[in-house]
Chain A
Amino acid sequence: MRVTVRLMGSFRDSLNEGERFRAIELREGSCVIDALRTIGVGDDEPWNASIEGQMVEAEYVLQDGDALFVFTPLAGGALSPHD
C-alpha cells in the first residue's frame, strides 16, 4: 500500500532539500512505527503523529492512501522542551 508522509520540525532533516512529502510503499497491515522506520526516524526519537488531524500512536495500523503527518512533540509552545 502507499502512504504519504509529511514531516515538520527537525524531522525535515530526513528529507532531501526542497522535499516536503514522501510517498512510501508499505506492506498491508503496517503501523505508524513501520512508516517512520522506513523514512529513517529513529526508534529513540520523540515524535507525535496524526492522520487527518487525529493523533495516532506507534501501533496504529495504516490504510492505503493515508496521509501521515509527523512532527516534534507538542510541549509548552516550544519545539520540544523536556516537560
Chain B
Amino acid sequence: MRGVAGKILRADLTARKITVDQPDERFYRTYLGGAGFVSYFLLKEVPRGIDAFDPRNKLIFAIGPLTGLPLPGASRSCVGTKSPLTDGYSKSEAGGFVPMALKKAAYDAVIVEGRADAPVYLLVTDQRVEIRDASHLWGKTVLEARDAIAAETGEKQIRTSGIGPAGENLVRFASVMNDAKDAHGRGGAGAVMGSKNLKAIAVAGKWNPDVADPAKIHELAVMMNKGFYDNPLFSKGLHDIGTGAEAAMVAGNEVGNLPSHNFAVNSFDGVKKITAHAAMAAYGKGMEGCAACGVRCKKVMEIDAPWHVNKRTSGAEYESLGALGTVCAVDDLERVLKACDLANQYGMDTISLGVTIGFGMECFESGILTPGDTGGVDLRFGNAEAMLQMVEMITRRQGIGDVLAEGTKRAAARLGRGAEALAMHVKGVEIPMHEPRVKPGLGVVYAVEAHGADHCAGMHDTFYTRESPSFERLRGMGATVPLPASDLSDDKMRSQKAAHLWNLFLDSTVCCMFVPWDLDQLVEGVRAVTGWIYTAHEALKLGERIAALGRVFNLREGITIAQDSLPKRMFGPTRRGALRNGGLDEETFRRAVSAFYGIMGWDMATGVPTRGTLLDLGIGWAADELPASV
C-alpha cells in the first residue's frame, strides 16, 4: 500500500501490552482514515452499554492518507471514543504538528484500551513504543507536561497529544490537546483519556510514506496555495485574522447568529470589545499555522502580568470568544482571553465550557442556583471575574464546579427546578456559536449528527443563499439550488446532505475546511497518495458510511430519535434582539429532520438506517448491532 504506514498501534494499558495490527488494503479503501477508522472501531470494538469511563472503552487517534505530506491543511487528526457527555458516538478533529509526527512515526492510528494502574504516557516513534511513568506529570497543565516530556525523552521533534488537569478530574467536556493550543475539543475524549490514567501520547519519527505520484502532490500543493492567495475571502480573512473577525462577530450579533446570555438574548452591546480584531490590536504577536500549511489562520497573543496569557497556548477563535464572551455576556477582553488560555492549559473544550458557565449564570439569575450553592460567587451574566472563577472551579471540581463539570445535560438533571429548559445542548454536547434560529438547516444537522451539535458537520445556511463559486462546488456533490437562510425545504435538506458527506470525507482524509479544496481536488490527492483509482463516488459513499455507523452506534446505546432535536428555546423568540419576534416552527423542523433521514437512506419515521442502505454501503454487518426494538 502506498501513502500509509499500513500499521495501527494498540496499547492495552491494563495489561501494559503493545501490539500492532496490519489491516489489509480493502480496509483502508473502505474506511480511509480519521473519522472512517473511528467509526469502524467504535462500533466493532466498544462493548454495548458500557460506561464511557469503563476501561473497555476505546480511545482512537487516527490520521489519514494525506497526513504528513507537504499539503496545506493536511496535518490533522481525529480522536474518537464513546462520549462521557452523550453516552454515544463521538469524534473530534484538531490540527497542529502531532498528526504529521504520527505519520512520521509510521502509524496510521493508535487505539488505547484498558486503564493503567498509575499515570502513564505513551511514547511512540518509528524506533520504539513505550508505556512510561507519568506520575510526575499528573496535575500539570498541558504545556507543562508537554515540555517535561520533550525534555526527558530526548526526542528533538517530539509532539504530544495530551490532557490537562480537567481530563484528569474527569470533567466531561475535557479536550485532548495537540501540543498546547490545538484541541480535539468536542465530546469529552479528554475525560476518557483521564479515566485511563493516560496523560499523553508523545510521537516523533523520521519515516516518510511512499507516495504513488509525488509530482501530483507537488502540483496540488502549488495549486492550493495559489488558490488560497488568489481568493481574498481566504487570504484577507483567515490568513490575516483567523476566525472571530470583527465583521463576523458584529454582523452575527446584529442578526442574532451569535448567541448571548445563554442563547436567551443574542444581542450583546459589548461585542466589539472582544472580537479577534480587538484582541490582536491589543495583544497580537502574529499568526501561525499547522505543519506545512500556508493559511496560517491561528492567532498568537501574549498578555503580561497580571493575566499571563501565554503565546504558546493563546489564540482565541470565534467559538471561544463567543462561548466565554457573549454567551456569558462578558466584554472584558483580558478575562475572556485568559479564560480561553486556561481552557487550553487545563484541557477543556471552550464551547462546552462557556455554554456551561452561561447555563450556570442563567440558573443563578433565575434563582435555581443561590449564592449558597455557588460558594458566594455572584454568578450573574457579565461578571467576568465569576466566569474566570468557574473555569478554575470546574477544572478542579470544586463546589458548584463539580456540578457544572458534568456538562449542561447532567448538571440540569441534577439541579432540577426547571434547569433543563436552560441547558443548551444536543444529546449532551453544548451548542456552538451558530444559532439554529438563523441557520435552521445547520440546526437539523446539529439535531441529527451522531456526535451532537457540531458546526463543522453541515452547511451554514447563510453562506449559500445565492449562486457563487462556493455553491457551485457544493452543487457538484449533490446540492440543489441556493435558498434563503430560513428555508427548511426538502431541497435544503439535500444540500445539507451534500455538505455533511463532504465534511465527513474531509474528516477521513483528514484535511482542513479552511483550505479551498473541492471534492475532485481532494479525491485527486487520495489518488496521488495511494495509487488507487479513487473516485468522488467513493468519497461521498464513505461519508454516508460514517454517518450510518455513528447512527447505528447510538441506536445500539439506546439513543433514539427523541434526542434528534434542539432545546425548546430554539422554538421560541429571544428576549430582545433580531430574534425577538420568532423562533423555529417545531413542526416544520421535525418535517425537515424526517426528510433528512430519508435522504440519507434511513427510515423517515424511525431514523434507523435501512438494511438496504447498510448493504449498499458495504457494512451489512452493522445491521446485527441494531437493537431488536428498532
Contacts and interface: CB of A to CB of B under 8 A. Distances in A.
Interface of A: 8-10, 44, 46-48, 50, 52-55, 57-58, 69, 71-83
Choose among A52, A72, A80 the residue with the greatest number of B CB atoms under 10 Å from its CB: A80
Contacts of B233: 10, 46, 72, 79-82
A53 B248 contact: no
Given A53-B267, A80-B233, 6 more contacts: A9-B237, A74-B255, A79-B238, A79-B245, A81-B234, A82-B473
Contacts of B267: 53
B140 to A, nearest CB: 30
Interface stretch (B415-423, B459-467, B528-536): B459-467
A83 B468 CA distance: 12
Interface in B458-510: 459-460, 462-463, 465-470, 473-474, 484-486, 499, 502-503
B486 to A, nearest CB: 7
A76 B247 contact: no
A50 B255 CA distance: 7
A78 B245 contact: yes
B188 to A, nearest CB: 22
A54 B251 contact: no
5 contacts: A10-B232, A10-B237, A77-B243, A77-B455, A79-B236
Contacts of B433: 77
B11 to A, nearest CB: 34
B520 to A, nearest CB: 14
A74 B470 contact: no
Interface residues of B, number: 57
A53 B250 CA distance: 11
A9 B468 contact: no
Interface in B127-163: none
B318 interface: yes
A20 B286 CA distance: 27
B544 to A, nearest CB: 18
A55 B245 contact: no
Nearest to A45: B468
Contacts of B243: 76-78
Contacts of A54: 255, 578
Contacts of A72: 233, 237, 247-248, 251
Interface of B: 232-234, 236-238, 241-248, 250-252, 254-257, 267, 297, 317-319, 322, 433-434, 438-439, 455-456, 459-460, 462-463, 465-470, 473-474, 484-486, 499, 502-503, 513-514, 516, 577-579
Nearest to B470: A82
Nearest to B244: A77
Nearest to A70: B251
Given A79-B233, A79-B248, A83-B499, A46 B466 contact: yes
Nearest to A57: B484
Nearest to B455: A76
A22 to B, nearest CB: 17
A58 B499 CA distance: 24
Nearest to A80: B233
Given A9-B247, A72-B247, A77 B317 contact: yes
Contacts of B252: 74
Contacts of A50: 251, 254-255, 578
Contacts of B503: 83
B465 A80 contact: no
A48 B267 CA distance: 18
Contacts of A76: 243, 318, 434, 455-456, 460, 513
B485 A78 contact: no
A78 B465 contact: no
B165 to A, nearest CB: 27
Contacts of A71: 247, 250-251
A44 B578 CA distance: 27
Choose among A44, A48, A57 the residue with the greatest number of B CB atoms under 10 Å from its CB: A48
Given A46-B463, A69-B254, A83-B499, A78 B248 contact: yes
